[in-house]
Structure 1
Amino acid sequence: MLTQNSSESVLLVDGMALLFRGYYATSSSGYIMRTDHGVPINGVYGFLKYLLDAIGTFKPTHVVCCWDMGSKTFRTEKFEAYKANRGPAPEELIPQFDLVKEVTASFNIPNVGVVGYEADDCIGTLARTYSPHMKVQILTGDHDMLQLVEENTEVIIMKKGQSNYMVYTLDTLMEEKSLTPAQIIDLKGLTGDTADNYPGVKGIGEKTATKLLNEYQNIAGILENLAALPKGVRAKIEAELDMLHLSLDLATIRLDAPVACALEDCAWAMEREKVISKFEEIAYKGLIRLIG
């Protein structure tokens, strides 16, 4: 039985966001760190650097790391072009996908992922599970996650540079974006998402979409008031109604993914000897320096 504990908090980590960011941050000069066995390690190294910095900064009592489990999901079934614009992962990063999970597990942090769903859906589902009982903080670089902000759930966006974060609460989200979390989904439905490769309504940008949402609250409200819209805007929406509804669905992070992680399994409790043993097995001395 979960009970409310205001002194506890859980950090839900977007694993791929940290891994890719860590890889590109450490390989931008063309230099690839390698273990004594010749295995590329810079993505894992960067991931750990970001993860440990966030844990040190936000001091969670619990940590879970969520992962994508392949490119095929229910979203690609609905829209074949979803994320189809993304090239393959860098060759040096591929062997690090499994290695980073081994390293994460050595810190007693659960690795969570479900085939057919994205890490976002796992994070959304766990956030909804945990938030009635403790503070939830989501660590990511993905602004799509802003739809998950709630009274007891914050989204921490990693910005450029070490220890540089923007923490979104209901108040800061409204201050910066003039939108509620639910309206973030509507915004994506209208504007689409170039990174995820779905178009929304062609010709509707963020400024117009935000103005419409401020006036009519949501897409349902906009569609009820089509006759009141400027002729050009109305024509664009009417021409793309099917894509508008599909984009809205693709943008919606699921809160009911078949995923669970008991709180007692994700309490933050690093066993230094266990971590060092894994680092020695990997054979890269630089990792040990990260844990002081």
Structure 2
Amino acid sequence: MMNEQKVLLVDGMALLFRGFYANSYGGFIRKTKAGLPTNAVYGFVKYLMDACKTFNPTHVICCWDLGSKTFRTDKFADYKANRPEAPLEMIPQFDLVKEVVSGFNIPNISFPGYEADDCIGTLSRQLSEHMEVLVLTGDHDMLQLVDERVKVVIMKKGASNYAVYDCDKLLEEKQLTAKQFIDLKGLIGDTSDNYPGVRGIGEKTATKLLVEYLSIEGILENLALLPKSVKAKIEAELEMLHLCRELATISCDAPVTCLPDECLWRPDSAKIAKMFAELEFNSLVKDVSFIAVS
């Protein structure tokens, strides 16, 4: 019997970097006999297979960033400017991982000037009209995509350890709706993406303000009621506050599309076993047997 249709939208870079650092402890980098580094791809594959086993999707898509220049860097030159260069051993794995994803018969989706988040946001809106959507990531920014048909699956430390956010869980754990999550990032900024928000306002204060006044607009309409120090901080950073909210907002109208028929999860286990043998992922070849489409 066919399960209810469900698409897994994979945040490719989040899995790849997590795979790299999880598989480079003690300075040991997994390589093929020919010397090609594969530790990040190996980790990526393990995470992908585990998620497919856990959530049993009927459709899968993988989305990617395409370098540092995006519509956000046009608005704010320092956006993500603090990011270090990728480790040398990562560089050959960026192309390799996309070949592996194609080997799973999964579409690789990206678009110049947009981040993977924007591709995922856009596809989640398009595909949620047809089926349930699960977004697989380690990035809490994606929580703004949660709605009645979209759940965000945050990978936590350890194997098969996921936090699955729907509207209720988001409200219960973070006290905020998905839309308020964007306003939260506008207020507190994001150190990993290198935008400041309102200096001196932390998550606790920002959450309290949003619970009380619902939105940045609500807060600004009630500035007179705020404690003097909070009011002064916000007034001093009004322009930055609005800019940071723009930077934090995932675009759901990126120029990407993928029809349900184009992303059916139809892995070919013989092809995958052959690919794993070539990559010398011998310990994973035995896991391929689970890939029998229901």
Offset at residue 36 of structure 1 (A): 1.9
Q: Work out whether 1:129 is the aligned partner of 2:97.
A: no
Of the structure 1 ranges 238-247 and 6-15, higher mean CA displacement relative to structure 2 is found in 6-15
Query: Does the 8 Å contact 2:42/2:281 carry over to 1?
Result: no
Partner residue in 2 for 1:282: 279
Letter in 1 for 2:75: K
Letter in 2 for 1:13: V
Once the two structures are superposed, residues 137-162 of structure 1 have per-residue CA deviations (whole angstroms, 9 ceiling, x without a partner) of 00000000000000010000000000
Question: Equivalents in 2 of 1:263, 1:36: separation in Å?
Answer: 39
- State which of 54, 65, 69 in structure 2 corresponds to 1:57: 54
- State which of 192, 195, 198 in structure 1 corresponds to 2:195: 198
Question: Equivalents in 2 of 1:27, 1:145: separation in Å?
Answer: 27
Query: Does the 8 Å contact 1:6/1:134 carry over to 2?
Result: no
Partner residue in 2 for 1:47: 44
Partner residue in 1 for 2:265: 268
| Residue-pair matches, total | 288
Offset at residue 227 of structure 1 (A): 1.0
Question: Equivalents in 2 of 1:29, 1:138: separation in Å?
Answer: 31
Specify whether residues 41 and 289 from structure 1 end up closer, same or farther in structure 2 by C-alpha distance, changes over 3 A only.
Answer: farther
- State which of 93, 110, 113 in structure 2 corresponds to 1:113: 110
Letter in 1 for 2:130: H
Query: Does the 8 Å contact 2:63/2:116 carry over to 1?
Result: yes
Letter in 2 for 1:49: K
Instruction: Kindly report structure 1 stretches of 4+ aligned residues shifted beyond 4 Å.
Output: none
Partner residue in 1 for 2:162: 165
Letter in 1 for 2:239: D
Partner residue in 1 for 2:232: 235
Structure 1, gaps ≥5 residues long: none
TM-score (norm 1): 0.96
Structure 2, gaps ≥5 residues long: 290-294
Offset at residue 132 of structure 1 (A): 1.8
Question: Equivalents in 1 of 2:243, 2:40: separation in Å?
Answer: 34
Partner residue in 2 for 1:156: 153
Partner residue in 2 for 1:248: 245
Q: Secondary structure at the match of 1:39?
A: coil
Offset at residue 66 of structure 1 (A): 0.3
Query: Does the 8 Å contact 1:49/1:290 carry over to 2?
Result: no
TM-score (norm 2): 0.95
> Residues 167-186 of structure 1: matches in 2 within 5 Å?
167-186=164-183
